[in-house]
Structure formats: C-alpha cells, structure tokens
Amino acid sequence: MIRQNVTIQNRLGLHARAAGKLVTEAARHEGEIWLVRNGRRVNAKSIMGILMLAAGKGTELIIEADGPDEQQACAALAGLIADRFGEDD
C-alpha cells in the first residue's frame, strides 16, 4: 500500500463535478483507493463518500492506494487534484 499527501487546489473544492471526475478516474484502477481527511477515510470510488468529505480549497488529504496498480492510481488521482480538475481557476 502507498500513501501520498495532496492539497485541494481548485476554487470550489470537491463539489459534485470534481467529485465525479475523481471517482471516474478511481474506477479505472483495479486496486482499492481511499481518501483520508483528518483520520476520516472514504472510498475514492464512491462519489457519495467524496462529497461527504466536504473538502474545500486548501484541504489537505491523503490518497491511499492498495493493489497491483497502486502507483498509477495514486499518481493519476494526485495529478487530477494538482490540475484543479481542469477548472480554469
């Protein structure tokens, strides 16, 4: 299992649109992926779980991935967050 710290960068945080992109990406990977905020751990393949994190801009999260493609999964999710989900601000 691997872990990576990330900070939410986009202005609106993990609202429905961003959460949708995140789970769609997570679902492409075979292994299990979680997002952790302040010790609260949710399934990154669950849009509901992600919404319940209520992670606004500046929130620090940990991505945890476990499985044969854990490296790629972690990198893909971190990339999406760093790219602000393609939003322009």
Contact residues for other proteins, defined by CB under 8 A? 11-13, 15-17, 20, 23-24, 27, 43, 45-49, 51-52, 54, 56-57, 87-89
Q: 50, 42 in Cβ contact below 8 A? A: yes
| Distance of closest approach, residue 74 Cβ to other proteins, in angstroms | 19
Interstrand relation of 60-66 and 2-7 (parallel, antiparallel or unpaired): antiparallel
Q: Could you tell me which of 40, 87, 48, 82 has the C-alpha nearest to residue 64?
A: 40
| Distance of closest approach, residue 43 Cβ to other proteins, in angstroms | 6
Q: What are the backbone angles phi and psi of residue 63, rounded to the nearest 5°?
A: -90, 130
| Distance of closest approach, residue 50 Cβ to other proteins, in angstroms | 10
- What is the rounded distance in angstroms from the CA atom of residue 43 to the CA atom of residue 9? 20
Active site residues: 15
